[in-house]
Structure 1
C-alpha cells in the first residue's frame, strides 16, 4: 500500500466549512441590523415628540405637527397627536418598525414628549 501524504484528504475542507457558515453569518448580520433600526426608531420617535411638544407649547397645534414631520422622514410612516394637558403640552409620535429598511414594516413604536405651556390657551 502506498504511503499517503499527510493532509491530502482534507483538501477543500475549509472552503466547505466557510460555505456552510455563510448563511449563519448573514442571518446574524441581519439580526444586528434589525436591532439597530429598532433602536434608531425609538430614538427618532422620542426626539420628534420632544421637538413637537416644544413647538406646540410655544406656538400652535399646527406647529406641533409640522415640527414632528420635520424630524422624521416619510418612509417611517409617522403619525402624530398633539394636545394640551393642563399646563403641559403633550405630543405623541408613532412610527412603523422597519424590517431591514424603512418602508417594509411589521409593527409600531411610540414616542412621547411634553413641554410646559408658554402661551395662553386659544
Structure 2
C-alpha cells in the first residue's frame, strides 16, 4: 500500500473555509444594508409627519397627500398617515412607514414618527 502524503488529506479544506467565511461576510453586509434601510425609513417617517402636520395646521384637507409627496415614492405607497390629533392650539400628525426587509429574519416592523405644529 502506498504511503499517503499529508497534502491529500487537506484537499478542499480551503474551499470549505472560504465558503463559510463568504457566507458570514455576506450576512454581515446585508445586515448593515438593512440597518441603513431602517434608518432611512425612520427619516422618511419624520419628514412625512412634519410636512403633513404643517399642511394640517393650515387647515389643508389634503395633508395626507402632502405627507406622502414629501417621501420617497417607493416608501410612500405603503405609508400610513392617520387623522391628526388636536390639543388646544396645536395639531399632531403621526406617520408610519413599514421598514423594507432584505432578509426575512431581520424584520424591524414599522418606523413611526410624530410632529406637532401650532394651528393657524
User: TM-score normalised to the size of structure 2?
Assistant: 0.74
SS at match of 1:92: strand
8 A Cα contact 1:88 1:114, kept in partner: yes
Name the one with the larger strand percent. Answer: 1
Q: 2 CA distance for matches of 1:15 and 1:74?
A: 40
My pick for the range that moved more, 79-88 or 90-99, is 79-88
Q: How many residues align?
A: 108
CA RMSD of aligned residues (A): 2.5
Residue 80 (structure 1) aligns with: 81
Residue 31 (structure 1) aligns with: 31
Residue 109 (structure 2) aligns with: 107
User: TM-score normalised to the size of structure 1?
Assistant: 0.73
Residue 63 (structure 1) aligns with: 62
8 A Cα contact 1:64 1:91, kept in partner: no
8 A Cα contact 2:38 2:108, kept in partner: no
